[in-house]
Each structure stands twice: as structure tokens, then as C-alpha cells.
Structure 1
Amino acid sequence: MNHTIGRWSRAVLGRFLPVLALGGLLSAALTAPAHAELPGGGWGERHLDEITLLASHNGYANGPDGMSAPFTNQTYSLRDQLWNQGVRATELDVYDYDYGTGDDRPPFARTGHGEVFRQWGRPLADHLRTIVDFLNSNRQEVFVLTLEDYASKDLLAKAFDSVPGARSMMFDPRAWRVDSIGWPRVQDMVNTNQRLLVLSGKVDREDIGIFPMRDWTIQNHYDNGIRQCTDRSGDGISDPLNVGGRYGASGQRAFQKLFINNQFSSRTYDDFYQTAKTACESATLGRMPNMISTDWIGYDNQDAWRFVNDTDKGVGWNVGDRDLCLDVEGGRSDNGTPVQIYSCNWTNSQAWSRVPILKQNVFEMRAFGKCLDVAGGSTANGTRVQLYDCNGTGSQLWLHDNRALRNPMSGKCLDVPSGDFSPGRDLQLYDCNGTPSQAWDWRMV
């Protein structure tokens, strides 16, 4: 993103990281994943707002694609980022470019840092072709492209039209009624081959398939450092981070905006963990990011990719300081499936996401696209807990309070009956009592 020259001078040291770490980066490239590993069972029933993607900040700003230091943010080409570094989202700065008076070649949309440096960037169409080629070769993948957009709409449209297959692959959140019924399952996007979501800071691009960022995402401030997560709500790009989910008509599934976590300063696994899990968890009422955007993808033993991969595989709840996790019995997704404790294994059965509701401190707990539910809406001790279609009722709202998972409707807590920590023990609702049977902690691998 091209915000201020001050941002570049403040991070001058970071611009030399590719040189200082070249040997390590080349070594990492040899062992980098061909694509990000999917959690056990693939994405299964997970929706787009229940996964985390690795995003390259200014993915075009790298030496192989024509940019020069100190105005680079990445070491690898965009193609290399996608094919070898696990990147599944990127941000591009886009401008109009013409060849000047007396040159008959037509103008086009081009990537670059500001008016002065845009001549170094490649045509937007080249980068679009890279993304579409990757998606055509990797049919189970989805991709999110965000544009810091200074280009004219006509030239943007020409860029997309010039890449075969790009138009048919673009995901339309309006047509899918996302703001009414929530984000679709990733598998549904795959099945329809609408796997490319394109967003812009501009609001007048929907007729060419590019949607306003503010309508569909929230994000923290781009100047945040490590362990910082503050609002970026003053420039028209994002709502406050604590905006909750909401329901459409008839209690349909909650819609929540995708959370872009800008971590341009993070380098190590601990940097990413402390910022996303600690700082942003509090700021967003408990959400993990849907995209983690950072510089120098591939740096320090692939730590950014490793953190994102662990986030997708290993966000779970363990109980009583034991190696026992909140688990959907048998990995089933049908309504009424019991919820139990089981040995932590970081599969989809234990991958829960929290969806904040209506700017309160309460949230839904989702697995397989469904909700943790108190059976029958009962408030009685011993009521079983199950997986059920999300419906917006009080039986599916939870609060994490002094380690307990409390259901505010009943005032009671998620409980291991009789303190029996045998794997496979079904869970219940019970009076809150502060015992290890009700001590739940949210953790990663």
C-alpha cells in the first residue's frame, strides 16, 4: 500500500532483510509447500469466514516482477508466492499508465508504488494471469485479491477481460446473498468455480465484478507493529474491529465481514501468534483472521505460512488443562450430533470458530458450518449439548468468562459431567462452579 514516504523510511532496515537472509530464503524455497496444507478432511463444511489465508502485502512489489529496493515488500515473484510459498491472497496497488504524447500504444492498468514509481511495475493483466493460471491448475483453491485502486474503471475492466477465464471465476457476494445468509462453504465456491473474490477501496466497481472492501471486510491499521491491533475505521476502508455478525430474515446464518489482519512488521512465528491470537483476539471480540497480510513471504523458515497453516488446522478448545478438546462426535455434521471431549488431534472435528454477534461480548461457536447448541433451548442442568444449524437463538450464544464457556440465556456453563475426563464423554449444560470440568482454554497447535 502506498500511504506515506514516512512509512518507508521508518522501515528502511526491513528493506534489507532479503539481502541479509538470502541464504535462508533460498533454503526455505527448496522445502516450501507446493500449496498450503488443508486441515484434516480438507475444508469440509467450513465457510469462507471460517478459514485463514496467507496474504502477501504488495505482492507485486518484488525484484523478479520489476520493482527495485527500497520500494519492495516481497522477495519472490507473485507466481512464486502462489506456487511455492502458500500465498492465497494478495494486495496490489493499481494505476493508469500511458506511454506519453506521440506514442500510439493504448493506456493500461499497471501495478506500482505511487505516480513516480508505477513505471517499474508490471501490467495488472500479467498478475491476473498468474492468479488465474494458478487457480486453473489447483481446482480446490480459492483466492482473495484486494486492490489499492487508483486506476480508471475502464482500464480495470480491460485488464480482467484480457485474461481468459478471469471473469467466469470471479465470486459475486451480492449474487450469493452473502450479507443476508452468510459466506458460502469453500466447497460450494469450488463446485461452482467461483473462487476469486476481488475487492477494492473504491465503491463504484461492482458492475465489473470488483466489490467495495468496506462492505465485506474489516481490517486493523496498516501502521500497526508487532502485538498491535487497532482500528482502521477512519479512512472509509473498514468498520471498527469489534463489529459483530448479524442475522438476516428468519434467523438465517450470521453474516460477518472477513477479517484482514495487517501484520507488515511480523517476521517470526511468535510475532504472528502474539499479534493475531493475543492483540487481535481482544480487539475483535475473539476472532482469528481470515487473511494475514505480511511482507517478505518465505522469511525465517516459512514462519508466516506455518502460522497460517496451524491456524487452519489447530484452533481448538481444551478442557481442564488436559490434552482433551471440544470435539464433534465422529466428525459428523448432521443436526443433533453430540459434542464431546476427545484427545486433541486438530482435525475439522475440533476446529471451532467464534463469530461475535451484534457488538456484544457473546459469540457463536461454529464447526462444520453449524453451531454449538443447547438441545431444545433448555436451561435445565444436564441438558445435552449438540451441533445444530445456526439459528440466532440464545441457545447458541456463548461467553468466555474466567475460563468458563457460559451460555448467557441460562447463566449455566459447558460442563464435563461428574468430572469424568474419559475421551468420548458427551458434554452438558450445568451450574457454573469454577471446577476443572468447566475450565476451557482457546489454543492453537
Structure 2
Amino acid sequence: MFTILGTAVIIGAIYFLIKRKEARMVLFAAGLLMAIIAGKPMAAFTAFTERMSTPGLIEAILSVMGFAFVMKYTKCDQHLVKLVAGGLKKFNLILIPGATLATFAINIALPSAAGAAAAVGAILIPVLMGAGVSPAIAASAVMAGTFGSNLNVGSAHNPFIAEIAKVTAMDVVKVHAFAHVLSVVIIAISLTVIAKLLKETKGYEYIPEGEQDNSKLNLLYALMPVIPLVILVLGSTVFPKILMGVPAAMLIGVILTLIVTRSNPSEVTKSFFDGMGKAYGDIMGIIISAAVFVGGMNAIGLVEAFTDAMVSSPSVAKIAATFGPFLLAVITGSGDAATFAFNEAVTPFAEKFGVSQINMGSIALLGGALGRTMSPIAGAAIVCAGIAKVNPIELTKRNAPGIIIATIVSMFILL
């Protein structure tokens, strides 16, 4: 009986997520309801308390978002985009795949899909359209690269998986890095082929609207967003003696940015802590709510039933880990809720299915990210479509084949 009631609650939660209700509210309410049905209401509150103070998650996620806010305030993010766009203009033949790969690379340093889509799209989409590329392909090329943030060590999911597997976030990134890079290459090639088949690679006449941003590129400013990543990568590979945590790398990046840009120290400090607050409210909020949701599932016995069913058929577990978060992300426009909930509930038991916790967490992460990249209602898709003045569904049509292929290939690589 409890299993049936719990399943009904989950179906209701999915319904409300599809209706784009507040994800944190839906997850928390569903978890609390399941705990109450099971007669264990404190299970939901205990999960809330435990997750809201998880040290490894908080320090990485908050510092990364604080750094991102500083990059936005100092406009270093815009200079990075101009640097990349300037290089792309010289290689017209690879403009479409180059835009996808460039967005992917920039999104690693600026770990927000919608934020990267706005910063990159405002420059690259007009560049592509000015070269004769159709607006739909131009917007699709930028949208297709907006899952690069998963290679940022401090991006929310990496510390989350690391906490489950009891490893470092860099260890997690090393496991799924190849699958991520191969995925974006597959998607970029697929989109280029589709553009050729649809004859949308040239012939479009672009007439710029409004005032254009002709400010001069500052190379030092452009390098600031990648400083923390360079420190973290070098510290984990070439110079292990300088190995440091994500917060230290982000703070060093902020200090160097302050020196290079000569910005107002008070405003830079305010931006950093505003970003930290935003990260706790938005990202940690979903993680905490997902913990409550899974706490309710545990209380009502659904996690045990689910894992028992998956243990008897490991192939089902692998498909569920990949396409569960993927499909929900396509439908809801957000991969976070599904991915966090799946990793909280199932990934700790990954070894029962013959898969390591890092690999299962990574495929759930990539599946959710790719599903969101294909969704016509994702925030990044709406931003890109708005800049190009096309319907977001046009982006989905062009990106879907490559994303589906990349998802299947990634499943075989990681699982």
C-alpha cells in the first residue's frame, strides 16, 4: 500500500514539475507528504537539516557562484566572449561547430547555462547571422554548448557526486570529462550536417538592430574568468604541491581580478557575497529539497523497492540513470531537480548494479544536462531564441539528433 501511495505522490510531483511549478516547493512538499503517509514526518525534517549544512557542497558551490558574479560585475566575462568571437570570425568554414565548442568552453568558466547563453549569444549569434547563417542554426549552435559548466570543478553536481563517492570533485570531473567533450563534438558535427542539409549555412541577410557594442577587447580582462580553473587543474596534475580547494582558487581569482581591473573593492566584495547568497538560495535550495524528497521516499520504502528492482536487472539501472534525468529535463527545462534526486536516492547503491558511484552519478549528471540542452522551455533556449528572434522549438529540432546520439554514446562510455 505504501509503495502505491508513494508512487502516486511521485507522479504528482512530476506533473507539477512539468507544469513548471517551483521545483524546490514541489520536491519538499512531495517528500514531506510521503514521510507523513509513512508515519515518520521527522524523516523529512532530518533530511532537510542534514543536507543544508553539508560542508563539501556549500564551500564549492557558493564560492564558484560568487566568483561568477564578480566576473559579471567587472565585465571580464564579456571580454572573454569577445576574445573567442574574434578568433571565430577568422575561420568562417568552422563557424557553426566553432560557436558550439566556444560556448562549451566559455560555459566551463562561467557556470550558468542561461548566463552563458546571454553573454555568448549576444555576441556570437549576430556573428553567425552576419556570416549568412540562418537565425535558427545560429541560436542552436550557441544553445548546444551550454552544458560545459559540468567540467567546472565547483559546479554544483561535481561536489555533490564527490560527497556520495567520498572522493574529490576533481576526481569526478576526470571520470566524465571525456564523455562530456565527446558529446559536444558529436552535437557540433551533427548540427553542422543538419545546417548543410537544410541549406542554412549561408544566404541569410542580417541587418543589425540597435546600438552595437564596439568596446575594445582587453586581453587581461578576458583571461580572468579562467584563472581559478587553471589553478585547480595545475594543482591536481602538474604541480600537486599547490593543490588547493575550490574556494581558495576562486578567492585568488577574485583578488587578481580586483588588481587587474582596478574595480571598486567594496562593489567587488558585495558582488561576491551576493553570488554566494544566490547560490545557496537557488542551487543549494534544490539540493536540500531533493534530500527531503528522497528522505520521504526512504521513509515510505520506495528507495528500497526501487533499488531491489534495479539490482535484479542492472541493464534497467543503467538506462534509468541515463534517460530518467534526460527525459524529465527535456520535459521540465531543468536537469537539476531530476539529477539531484536520482543521485541522492540511487547513486549511493550503484555498486549493487555493478557500476561505480562516480560513473552512475556522472551519467545521471550528463543525461540531465543533455536533456536540458534539448528542451525548448529551458531558460538558455529561451534566451538564445530571443536573441535570434525564432521559436525555441526550432532549436530543439536542430539539436535533438546530435544530443540523442551523444546521450547513448555517453551511456556506453560511462556505464
In the superposition, the TM-score normalised over structure 1's length comes to 0.26
User: Which structure has the bigger radius of gyration?
Assistant: 1
The answer to which structure has the higher helix fraction is 2
The answer to which structure has the higher strand fraction is 1
In the superposition, the TM-score normalised over structure 2's length comes to 0.28
Query: Which structure has more RCO (C-alpha within 8 Å, separation ≥ 6)?
Result: 2
